């Protein structure tokens, strides 16, 4: 098994990696459909194609759903929970055994720095470990109906689950959907984003190697129109987990309504980071930097709005700007502070926001321009950017840029900060930096978001439920709440006297 250094050298020498998945993963094996259609996958750090993959069709979706349905009904839902747990735990171990290869592929396919990709793979392993431990603890309740009755509930698997996986966190999002669905006794049919197809396919293979019966984890590649849409409208699907844009999520929800298919939607965000005047400034600066510039800001929960107390605005911003300008850019395999954005189209979108901001005369105090890898002169990069003094009604305060762009807003006091934080169509997460723990928890109650971080952005892990309010979606992933998303509760009441 090659190390990360050996794989990096291989890629830099050849421009590709040997042994990448070839075809869909259906019914426990890779297979290329007869139509033999393919697409190219691009390395954002070089803006060059490095591999091809199968461009699926609606017929391929039918095959995958049929395989999942058969496997669910004939084997998996009646497997003992402890046996499901052993398979998921073995998958966790195999992910760690293959961490170098998985991380290198994730890095090249998504563009993110290698250290971040390594963290994502470790997180995927932890996700399977966590839900392995939950398989035999998914217990119902008993109801106090009196001496003449027995009342209880049980959690049953919902059935065949569809998973639409985004391009920004391919292996992380796949794992946080696959693991609880399989732990609950469901079958999986997944479609990764066409920009980042490979690690979801590799994860399905790992699960097969761990002993998962054939047909229980199927992965199809291709476009949203030709694979994603047919999957979400398929009558053989019982549940849809979608992560992506508000526009597409709305379409998925409308499609699901036709067959009353259950959905969990994790959509966009414009998450505030509230910095109060009594904060630990060094920790808050580091927290703000990580919140917006990890994966070049291409995170639904990125802290893209800094709301700062006016009393410390000038000193704080001066330090933040200096550290932002010192961040290194480069290809993910060189593990820079900030990597590329995912595609030329997305780079144009980010640049459009800044072009309009410049035309409006906004105060851009750092960055604001398209750039390239300083070592090679190639790739899709945008400078780490800070825009100061942004009005609440401005699109930079209201719309999701999904890039390395931080909007700065000034608050008069805590109440004003909360009002600014809540004046937005999104409600995914929020961060708070203050030494006043009582005030922090009061603010956490007042801010309308699905998850609140206090004094550390991105705090928590797989144990903590994650999901949004307002146009950030509904339903929860991660934690026991995420497991229950793949269950249907049945109540039983019996007269026993």
- What is the rounded end-to-end Cα distance, in angstroms, of the chain? 65
13 as an active site residue: the answer is no
Angle between helices 4-14 and 99-110 (to 10 degrees): 40
CA-CA distances (angstroms) from residue 395 to 20, 303, 309, 352, 416?
41, 16, 21, 12, 20
For residue 330, the cross-strand partners are none
Determine contact, residues 200/170, Cβ cutoff 8 Å: yes
The residues near 48 (Cβ < 8 Å, ≥ 6 apart) are 15, 42, 378
Give the E-state strand segments of 276-352 in sequence order.
305-309
Say which DSSP state 466 is in: B
Of the candidates 106, 194, 266, 383, the residue annotated as catalytic is 266
CA-CA distances (angstroms) from residue 224 to 61, 80, 89, 161, 209?
12, 36, 32, 17, 28
Say which DSSP state 77 is in: G
Say which DSSP state 473 is in: E
- Residue 443, both tokens: 């603010």
DSSP calls for 368-435:
-SEE--TTTS-S-EE--EEEES--TTSHHHHS---SSEEEEEEESSHHHHHHHHHSSSEESEEEEE-S
The residues near 382 (Cβ < 8 Å, ≥ 6 apart) are 296, 341, 347, 350, 351, 367, 369, 370, 371, 403, 404, 405
Closest C-alpha to 215, from 32, 57, 65: 65
Overall size of the chain counted in residues: 497
The secondary element (H helix, E strand) that includes residue 157 is strand 149-157
Say which DSSP state 225 is in: I
Distance CA 107, CA 113 (A): 6
Residues classed as catalytic: 266
């Amino acid at each position: 098994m090659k190390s990360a250094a050996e794989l990096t050298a291989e890629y830099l020498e050849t421009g590709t990696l040997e042994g990448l998945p070839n075809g869909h993963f259906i019914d426990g094996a890779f297979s290329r459909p007869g139509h033999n259609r393919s697409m190219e996958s691009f390395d954002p750090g070089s803006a060059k194609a490095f591999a091809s993959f199968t461009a699926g069709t609606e017929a391929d979706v039918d095959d995958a759903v049929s395989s999942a349905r058969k496997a669910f009904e004939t084997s998996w839902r009646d497997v003992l929970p402890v046996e499901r747990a052993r398979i998921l735990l073995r998958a966790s171990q195999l992910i760690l055994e293959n961490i170098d290869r998985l991380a290198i592929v994730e890095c090249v396919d998504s563009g993110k720095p290698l250290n971040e990709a390594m963290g994502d793979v470790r997180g995927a392993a932890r996700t399977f470990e966590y839900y392995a431990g939950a398989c035999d603890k998914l217990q119902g309740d008993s109801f106090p109906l009196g001496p003449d009755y027995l009342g209880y509930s049980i959690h049953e698997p919902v059935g065949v689950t569809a998973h639409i996986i985004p391009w920004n966190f391919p292996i992380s999002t796949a794992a946080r959907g696959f693991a609880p669905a399989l732990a609950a006794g469901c079958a999986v049919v997944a479609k990764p984003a066409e920009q980042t197809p490979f690690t979801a396919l590799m994860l399905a293979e790992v699960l097969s190697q761990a002993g998962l019966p054939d047909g229980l984890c199927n992965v199809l590649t291709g476009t949203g129109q030709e694979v994603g849409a047919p999957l979400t409208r398929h009558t053989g699907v019982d549940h849809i987990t979608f992560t992506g844009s508000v526009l597409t999520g709305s379409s998925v929800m409308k499609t699901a309504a036709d067959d009353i298919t259950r959905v969990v939607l994790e959509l966009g965000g414009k998450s505030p980071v509230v910095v109060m005047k009594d904060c630990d400034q060094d920790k808050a600066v580091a927290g703000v930097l990580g919140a917006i510039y990890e994966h070049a800001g291409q995170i639904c929960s990125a802290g893209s709005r800094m709301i700062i107390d006016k009393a410390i605005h000038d000193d704080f911003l001066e330090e933040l700007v200096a550290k932002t300008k010192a961040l290194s850019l480069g290809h993910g395999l060189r593990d820079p502070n900030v990597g590329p954005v995912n595609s030329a189209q997305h780079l144009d979108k980010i640049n459009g926001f800044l072009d309009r901001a410049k035309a409006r005369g906004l105060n851009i105090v750092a960055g604001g321009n398209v750039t390239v890898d300083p070592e090679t002169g190639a790739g899709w990069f945008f400078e780490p950017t800070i825009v100061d003094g942004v009005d609440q009604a401005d699109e930079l305060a209201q719309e999701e840029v999904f890039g390395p762009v931080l909007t700065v807003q000034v608050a008069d006091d805590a109440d004003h900060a909360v009002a600014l934080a809540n004046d937005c169509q999104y409600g995914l997460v929020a961060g708070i930096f203050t030494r006043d723990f009582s005030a922090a928890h009061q603010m956490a109650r007042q801010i309308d978001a699905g998850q609140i971080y206090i004094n550390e952005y991105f705090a928590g892990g797989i144990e903590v439920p994650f999901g949004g309010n307002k146009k950030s979606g509904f339903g929860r992933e991660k934690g026991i709440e995420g497991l229950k998303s793949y269950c249907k509760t049945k109540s039983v009441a019996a007269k026993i006297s």
